[in-house]
Amino acid sequence: MRILLVEDDKLLGDGVQAGLTQSGFNVDWVRDGVAAELALKTGEFTGVVLDLGLPRLSGMDLLLRLRRGGNKVPVLILTARDRVEDRIKGLDAGADDYVIKPFDLHELAARLRALVRRACGEAAAKLQVGDIELDPAARRVSFRGRPVELAAREFALLQELMLNAGRVLSREQLAQRLYAWGEEIESNAIEVHVHHLRRKLAPELLRTVRGVGYMMPREAA
């Protein structure tokens, strides 16, 4: 899952980026509201961690612009503003969650996973599509009851396809969600990951939609 972190404090930003990356997220980090707005217009993210006290464009103004423009990306406000009035204002502006600094990184990761699940219409903590079960928190996958060892990118790809079961995702969409800024992407990287998933799980698991991308049927094998 690709997350946009919007935080102007360098020390805190470094820590959050490292912690979320360790929890399995791909994290792109910007340090002001204008840069965040541009990133959200040009990139595809599954969630946003948003500070409110940002230079150039405040977090609240950015959030309001996003929602007025129809952008439904899940947004978690991460701020030191702890008044009830501030929390109400942030949630009413369109935030999906509100976390007050200081915070626990494991809890932050769990809240992000929950936001993304809800945005994709999933309520359970574990994803289940047919005989495939994926546990995002424990980073475990089982197929027909047996554990399956997946590389990090394979796990991330499977998670995206399960969250979007029944929908076609283009190669470009998958690449954006699997890789953060600055990472080198081989031209056939997505195809290679798909090949490995089919080999480790089942050939019929992922359908190729010619000229478009890939999809996982809602009732996968």
For 90-100, the pLDDT digits (tens) are: 999 999 999 99
Residue 25 predicted with pLDDT over 70:
yes
pLDDT reported for residue 186:
80
3-state secondary structure the chain: CEEEEECCCHHHHHHHHHHHHHCCCEEEEECCHHHHHHHHHHCCCCEEEECCCCCCCCHHHHHHHHHHCCCCCCEEEEECCCCHHHHHHHHHCCCCEEEECCCCHHHHHHHHHHHHHHHCCCCCCCEEECCEEEECCCCEEEECCEEECCCHHHHHHHHHHHHCCCCCEEHHHHHHHHCCCCCCCCCCHHHHHHHHHHHHCCHHHCEEECCCEEECCCCCC
Residue ranges and CATH numbers for the domains of the chain are 2-119 (3.40.50.2300), 127-215 (1.10.10.10)
pLDDT reported for residue 43:
87
Residue 194 predicted with pLDDT over 60:
yes
pLDDT reported for residue 123:
66
pLDDT reported for residue 116:
87
Q: What is the mean pLDDT of residues 3-9?
A: 97
Query: 164-189 pLDDT, tens per residue?
Result: 999 999 998 898 888 877 777 788 89
What's this model's pTM, rounded to 2 decimal places? Answer: 0.77
Q: What is the mean pLDDT of residues 47-54?
A: 96
Lowest mean pLDDT among 10-24, 78-92, 180-194: 180-194
Residue 221 predicted with pLDDT over 70:
no
Q: What is the mean pLDDT of residues 99-105?
A: 94
Contact 114, 139 (CB under 8 A): no
